[in-house]
Structures are given as C-alpha cells and as structure tokens.
Amino acid sequence: MSIKVDTAMLMAAGLGKRMRPLTATRPKPLVKVAGQALMDHALERLESGGIKRTIVNVHYLADTVVAHVKTRKSPMEMLISDERDKLLETGGGLMKAALLLGDAPFVCANSDNLWVDGPQDSISMLSSLWDDERMDALLLVVPHAHATCHGGPGDFHMSADGRLRRRKPNHIAPFVFTGVQIMSPRLLCDPPGEAFSTNIFWNRAIESGRLYGAVHNGLWFDVGTPQAVPIVEAALGYA
C-alpha cells in the first residue's frame, strides 16, 4: 500500500573527517558542490518529493547549520534536533528525534550524498512502493557500477521480491545504499546504547525479512572527500 510521506530526517551532525581540510572551518553539510551547500541539494530533493517537514540533527559547528537553516526560503517546515552535547551517530540521532518524527513512516536522508532524479522522483517512488504490512525500511540503492566516487565493495544483495541481504565478507555486492530511505517508526525501539549506528535497525529488519530496496533510476554521487567535489561538478556540467 503506497503512502504519502511528508516528514523527513536529514542527517547533518557528522564530523566530516574524510572531507578535511574543507571541514576545518565549516560542517560537511555546508560544503559547496556545484555552487550549493550539500544539504541544500538534499533539501531540494526532499521538497520536490512532497516532504513538508524536515528535522535536521546538528553537532559539529552546530550554530552554522542552524543559522543556514534559518536563512532558507522554503515552505517546508524545518526543525532542529540538537546533539551538541554528544554525537549520537545515525541510530542514536534517530532515537533522539523520534518524538519529532511522529508515528508515521518517514524519509531519512544523509546530507553528504548527492542524487539527481531520473524519469521518476526518487522520494515519490519510495512512497509508492512502501508496503507497511511487509516493510520496516525501504532503502534507495544504486547499482555498484553507477555509484560515482564510491570506492567500497557494495552493501547489499537484492532478491527478486526486493528483500535486501548483507554483502558477504570478501565479496562484492551489486548494490550501494544511497543514504536515502523510508523507515517505520516501529524500528525506533530498544536502543543498544545512546550512540549507535542505523545498522542495528537494519539488522533487525533483515532478521525478520522486512528490509527492502528500490533501485535509483538517476545519478548518484558519494561526496565524501575533497577529491570527489570536482568530479561531481564536472558530471553535473558545473563550471
């Protein structure tokens, strides 16, 4: 059953260590690519996909991210989940923001990946494929061969019905996680601690057969290092 997802979480609290020296004086979400801050690329895609309300978590150089959010001219409501006291990682960040996220499925997106929609809007596609009876999370994945600037061995294998399973050790997996997903709030329970990875939630969903994937039909870039920026800009035709 498809749903209308209108709430999102934008992960913007990381230290950006791999992006140094660009992140020595600015947080990674505010590093500019093709004339625009990374987080603005993501927020524009979320808004075009029908998101009306986005929670942004902050930690490293938090004041600059908060100030940037305040300057955005957009009808989308923006809320801050403050992690200044302690970086909670992705899973802990979701737990802290759980009350703001509400009791309906929501989009979660990383701020350091840049995607360009293909024939179909990616957020709308995920919403149309969501089945609450079968799924706890639906991940947007991209074929390994099309994961620009991504040097890893891949993340997932996908079965014919869309279920995801982990890459086996010392193997290459055909799909890479894009950093964009729909999650059910029922996953946000029983945290193993205060700071932990979203992988904990995924592992639970895999064990119950409720982690699914959908293949991205546009461009996707892993903008994790300074060296990736000019490659991405050239691919986007930015001079």
Tell me: pLDDT of 175 over 70.
yes
Question: Of all residues in the chain, what percent carry a pLDDT higher than 90?
Answer: 83
If pLDDT is split at 50, 70 and 90, which confidence band does 15 have? confident
Tell me: pLDDT of 2 over 70.
no
Question: Of all residues in the chain, what percent carry a pLDDT higher than 70?
Answer: 99
CATH of the domain at 52: 3.90.550.10
Query: Per the domain annotation, does 30 fall within a domain?
Result: yes
Give the per-residue pLDDT at 215.
Answer: 96
Give the per-residue pLDDT at 1.
Answer: 53
Across the range 11-20, mean pLDDT stands at 90
Q: How many domains does the chain have?
A: 1
Tokens of 148: 């620009």
pLDDT tens-digit map of 25-79: 899 999 999 999 999 999 999 999 999 999 999 999 999 999 999 998 889 999 9
Query: Per the domain annotation, does 216 fall within a domain?
Result: yes
Give the C-alpha separation, 117 to 236, whole Å.
12
Query: Per the domain annotation, does 1 fall within a domain?
Result: no
Give the C-alpha separation, 195 to 93, whole Å.
8
Give the per-residue pLDDT at 239.
Answer: 60
Give the per-residue pLDDT at 66.
Answer: 95
More confident residue, 176 or 151: 176
Tell me: pLDDT of 21 over 70.
yes
Q: Is 182 helix (H, G, I), strand (E, B) or coil?
A: strand
**How many helical (H) and strand (E) elements, i.e. helices and strands, does the chain have?**
7, 13
Across the range 103-120, mean pLDDT stands at 93
Give the per-residue pLDDT at 182.
Answer: 98
How much is the pTM? 0.94
Give the per-residue pLDDT at 22.
Answer: 85
pLDDT tens-digit map of 197-217: 999 999 999 999 999 999 999
Give the C-alpha separation, 112 to 9, whole Å.
13
Give me the count of residues in the chain: 239
Query: Per the domain annotation, does 120 fall within a domain?
Result: yes
Query: Per the domain annotation, does 2 fall within a domain?
Result: no
**Which residue's entry shows tokens 């290459």?**
172
Look over the chain and give the mean of its residue pLDDT values, rounded to a whole number: 93
pLDDT tens-digit map of 116-143: 998 889 999 999 999 999 999 999 999 9
What domain range is 189 assigned to?
7-235
Give the per-residue pLDDT at 227.
Answer: 93
Across the range 15-27, mean pLDDT stands at 88
Please report, for residues 153, 154, 165, 169, 176, the alpha-carbon distance to residue 173 in angstroms, rounded to integers and kept in the order given: 6, 5, 10, 10, 8
Across the range 146-153, mean pLDDT stands at 88
**Cβ contacts of residue 223 below 8 Å, gap of 6+?**
31, 33, 38, 112, 113, 114, 149, 229, 232
Query: Per the domain annotation, does 136 fall within a domain?
Result: yes
Q: Are strands 106-110 and 7-11 parallel, antiparallel or unpaired?
A: parallel
Instruction: Give me the helix-helix angle, 38-48 and 122-129, nearest 10°.
Output: 50
